[in-house]
Amino acid sequence: MKQIILAAALALTFPSSALADAPKGLAWDIVEWLTTEIGPRHGGTEAEARARVWAVAKLKALGFANVRIEEFDMPVWVRGEERGSIIAPFPHRFALTALGNSGATPATGLKAEVIAFTTYDAFKDAPDAMVKGKIVYVSHAMHRTMDGSSYGIYGVLRRQGPSLAAKKGAAAILIRSIGTSEHRTPHTGNTGWEAGVSPIPAAALSNPDAKHLETVMARAKGKPVTIDLTLTPKFTGSQKSGNVIAEVPGTDAAAGLVVIGGHLDSWDLGTGAIDDASGVAITTEAAKRLLDTGKKPRRTVRLVWWGAEEVGIFGGNAYFEAHKAEPHALAAESDFGADRVWRLDVRLPDAARPLAERLGKALSPLGITLSKELAGGGADVGQLVGSGVPAIDLQQDGTRYFDLHHTAEDTLDKIDPALLAQNVEAWSIMVNMVANAPEDLMAGQRK
């Protein structure tokens, strides 16, 4: 009978996650909430809006000041059906996914021969006649890097390849996923179209499917390889998105704002756990700990849950336009998963060098070392930092980040609560020290 009771009282029998015994706190709660009760939060959609409403209630309940949504308008692209197969000489059904902003095929699909390139450079150098009317496939050799640097290098294929294929007259483009997953879960991500270029269908094959196509090309021994591709994404016009903002008020407005946060939106394939519910959650718990000291910091800490980052950094750009006239002492975003922080990068005026040294010492017990790299700040604060605002990066270990990035695998079960807690600890130390630093952090901005 005991087992029957267990089954009936189910809420008691399932812990709220599979890792119930690991340390958990506010950050975990936020990640679990966003991934479980909201799920995917594609920029400009109803789900993202629902998350904003909840966020405001949650941040008010936590005691933050000036909690509000700052809305903006943005064009919205939504995924449709997506499937593709090799139809000759050796049939195979691909695991693939459309890139953000991809054009559509006819609803009945598009059949064409493949022309394949081993590198983006080889594709760039190919004459248009070789590509015209074909489905272009481009491979690459992206591998894991702890600092994520391979993403910038190989990602050019996703960011620029489709536009180039369109200009060369290709019927469509398939790329090997920009990611390191060895699984049949393709990596999506945005592409862009140069002015005047008409979008063509553009999709990423999972890495195993990319390897499969390459083996088929080799075994076809020069026979044409043909593909049938169906992608039916569309633009649904201009929609509302928004940034959610909350503050820990400071005592010295002239010392400038400390802006921290992550992005609330996610890609649509997974539930946006590592990208970027974790960043939102880490920075929120860090700000909450500052609030809970009960002592106002010198600088106001402004927490932002940016909207619509994945699909074009719309939230970051809207924030910049709305707030660029305010004095900003620091910008820092958490947007690289939930694995451990291993490195501290800073971009501070010379006068604030002592702050960097103090941060390095304070973070050292967590396994974090001060580097010579210049901090970038993160996508949503890119314009702020570009305009001269100091930045700090708490660099996370990215070794497995691109196994999950922009795939259906970006789900709660991939987050290790102990590593999430290390992030919170590091951010708490950093935010507290920066908010209270006696140095003039804006020295570099005053010409």
Question: Where do contacts with a second copy occur on this chain (CB under 8 A)?
Answer: 1, 3-4, 6-8, 10-11, 13-18, 32, 36-39, 89-92, 95, 115-119, 121-123, 125-127, 130, 139, 182-185, 207-208, 211-212, 214-222, 271, 408-409, 411-414
**Min dist. Cβ of residue 414 to a second copy (A):** 8
Q: Which structure tokens are listed for 22?
A: 């690991």
**Min dist. Cβ of residue 3 to a second copy (A):** 4
Q: Are 78 and 347 in contact (CB under 8 A)?
A: no
Cα–Cα distance, 30 to 219 (Å, whole number): 50
CA angle 353, 358, 364 (to 5 degrees): 125
Q: Which structure tokens are listed for 47?
A: 């789900």
Catalytic residue among 32, 309, 333, 409: 309
**Min dist. Cβ of residue 106 to a second copy (A):** 22
**Min dist. Cβ of residue 371 to a second copy (A):** 32
Which residue pairs, CB below 8 angstroms and at least 24 apart, start in 115-124?
116/213, 116/214, 116/217, 116/225, 120/156, 120/157, 120/161, 123/161, 123/164, 123/165, 124/164
**Min dist. Cβ of residue 15 to a second copy (A):** 7
Residue 238: how many CA atoms within 13 Å on its side-chain side? 4
CB contact set of 96 (below 8 Å; sequence gap of 6+): 82, 83, 84, 174, 186, 203, 204, 205, 206, 209
Q: Which is nearer to a second copy, 117 or 314 (CB)?
A: 117
Q: Which is nearer to a second copy, 176 or 343 (CB)?
A: 176
Nearest to 131 by CA among 113, 144, 111: 113
Q: Are 240 and 44 in contact (CB under 8 A)?
A: yes
Q: Are 224 and 284 in contact (CB under 8 A)?
A: no
Mark whether 309 is an active-site residue.
Answer: yes
Catalogue the active-site residues: 309
